[in-house]
């Protein structure tokens, strides 16, 4: 028996559990950090800003505690479309429901968007705030970091500062310890083997969308979303997934499909392999591309497509 099975026992006295928001402006590496912290590639990642559109829960269970990481979308300034406003609501709602917030920034950079995120976190009275300075491996001149952090802490006091590289999994042990000691003493919420509260259906849609973000040029990925029409386990043990890629115009549909269907085939192949790795079984994936003009401004469609 372990501590999580006997939370009322003496062994569980120091066991801690709580929700932790990974917050920050778009493209600072929050999703990469989540994946590194839980040891599973759960949250989709691309080099494009605003890849994350939904709240993703990642669960890390250790002998001393269970950390429930909430990967939040980056907040969009001047959000004009209904989808962007929905994403901002998701990001703001997430930070009202946590025990601790970790604001993630890029080494050597503090922008107006970073300041807006700090202001949003500060609206939550008595919420502990840690600062995770990410991508420190890319900072060539280390001497500028000390005055940068000193000035930052004077203007925006955090409880503690941690230097990390999410991509290279550096500095994560110290960050985890700093998080754990600030979480409430209480039993685990989830089982030891659980890594998220999201369904495989949701994750399948995200993995297809990841390939759209990675493979399509310029603004096109932002005009797409993915809907899973069917997800079932066949008697032969293969997960059969039918997904629709929604775009806003016929010209976009042609680009997603590509010459002779080559682009759509590449998207499907990569997404299927990612699903098989995450779901730990064979996947049969079938993709369609359909046009729905103005889907990103239709509140009913956004709800149908899973936007909170």
> How many CB atoms within 10 Å of residue 93?
12
The mean pLDDT value of the chain amounts to 90
Dump the DSSP string for 35-71. Answer: HHHHTS--S---SSTT---S-EEEEEEETTEEEEEEE
What pLDDT, on a 0 to 100 scale, did the predictor assign at position 307?
Answer: 84
Q: Which residues contact 188 (CB under 8 A, 6 or more apart)?
A: 4, 7, 15, 17, 61, 66
* Ordered strands of the 225-233 beta sheet: 225-233, 239-247, 283-291
Q: Establish whether 18 is an annotated binding residue.
A: no
Q: Establish whether 256 is an annotated binding residue.
A: no
Instruction: Give mean pLDDT, residues 251-274.
Output: 96
pLDDT band (50, 70, 90) for residue 5? very low
pLDDT band (50, 70, 90) for residue 78? low
pLDDT band (50, 70, 90) for residue 94? confident
8 pLDDT higher than 50: no
What pLDDT, on a 0 to 100 scale, did the predictor assign at position 52?
Answer: 83
What pLDDT, on a 0 to 100 scale, did the predictor assign at position 141?
Answer: 78
299 pLDDT higher than 50: yes
CB 58 within 8 A of CB 71: yes
- The CA-atom distances, in angstroms, between 115 and each of 61, 103, 125, 141, 159 are 32, 10, 17, 24, 16
Q: Establish whether 135 is an annotated binding residue.
A: yes
65 pLDDT higher than 80: yes
Which phi and psi angles does 88 have, rounded to 5°?
A: -65, -40
What pLDDT, on a 0 to 100 scale, did the predictor assign at position 1?
Answer: 36
Alpha-carbon torsion, ordered 136, 140, 146, 152, to 10 deg = -60
Of the candidate ranges 84-93, 102-111, 123-132, 227-236, the one whose mean pLDDT is the lowest: 84-93
What pLDDT, on a 0 to 100 scale, did the predictor assign at position 76?
Answer: 64
pLDDT band (50, 70, 90) for residue 278? very high
Question: What structural domains does the chain harbor?
Answer: 16-181 (3.40.50.300), 200-305 (3.30.300.20)
Q: 138-148 burial by CB neighbour count: b if 16+ within 10 A, else e? A: ebeeeeeeeeb
- Summarize pLDDT for 104-136 with one digit per residue, the tens: 999 999 999 999 999 999 999 899 999 999 999
pLDDT band (50, 70, 90) for residue 79? low
3-state secondary structure of 243: strand
What pLDDT, on a 0 to 100 scale, did the predictor assign at position 4?
Answer: 43
164 pLDDT higher than 80: yes
Q: Establish whether 25 is an annotated binding residue.
A: yes
pLDDT band (50, 70, 90) for residue 50? confident
Q: Establish whether 108 is an annotated binding residue.
A: no
Q: Establish whether 29 is an annotated binding residue.
A: yes
Cα–Cα distance measured from residue 162 to residue 117, given in angstroms and rounded to the nearest whole number = 18
pLDDT band (50, 70, 90) for residue 90? confident
Angle between helices 200-215 and 262-279 (to 10 degrees): 140
Q: Establish whether 26 is an annotated binding residue.
A: yes
Q: Establish whether 75 is an annotated binding residue.
A: yes
- Least Cα distance to 213 among 72, 49, 57 occurs for 49
Q: Which residues contact 48 (CB under 8 A, 6 or more apart)?
A: 27, 213, 221
Q: Establish whether 74 is an annotated binding residue.
A: yes
């Amino acid at each position: 028996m372990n501590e999580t099975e006997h939370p009322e026992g003496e062994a569980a006295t120091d066991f801690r559990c709580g929700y932790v928001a990974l917050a920050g402006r778009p493209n600072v590496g929050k999703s990469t950090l989540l994946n590194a912290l839980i040891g599973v590639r759960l949250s989709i990642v691309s080099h494009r800003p605003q890849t994350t559109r939904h709240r993703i829960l990642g669960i890390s269970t250790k002998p001393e505690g269970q950390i429930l990481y909430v990967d939040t979308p980056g907040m969009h300034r001047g959000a004009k479309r209904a989808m962007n406003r929905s994403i901002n609501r998701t990001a703001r709602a997430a930070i009202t429901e946590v025990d601790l917030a970790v604001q993630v920034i890029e080494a050597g950079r503090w922008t107006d968007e970073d300041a807006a995120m700090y202001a949003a976190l500060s609206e939550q009275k008595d919420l502990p705030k840690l600062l995770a300075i990410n991508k420190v491996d890319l900072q060539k001149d280390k001497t500028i970091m000390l005055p940068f952090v000193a000035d930052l802490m004077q203007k925006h006091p955090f409880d503690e500062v941690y230097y990390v590289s999410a991509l290279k999994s550096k500095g994560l042990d110290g960050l985890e310890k700093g998080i754990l000691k600030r979480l409430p003493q209480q039993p685990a919420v989830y089982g030891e083997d659980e890594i998220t509260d999201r369904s495989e259906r949701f994750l399948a849609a995200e993995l297809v969308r990841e390939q759209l973000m990675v493979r399509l040029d310029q603004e096109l990925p932002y005009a797409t979303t993915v809907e899973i029409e069917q997800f079932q386990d066949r008697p032969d043990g293969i997960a059969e997934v039918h997904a629709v890629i929604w775009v806003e115009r016929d010209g976009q549909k042609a680009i997603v499909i590509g010459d002779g269907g080559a682009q759509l085939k590449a998207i499907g192949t990569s997404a299927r392999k990612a699903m098989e790795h995450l779901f730990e079984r064979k996947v049969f994936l079938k993709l369609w591309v359909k046009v729905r003009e103005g889907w990103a401004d239709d509140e009913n469609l956004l709800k149908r497509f899973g936007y909170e």
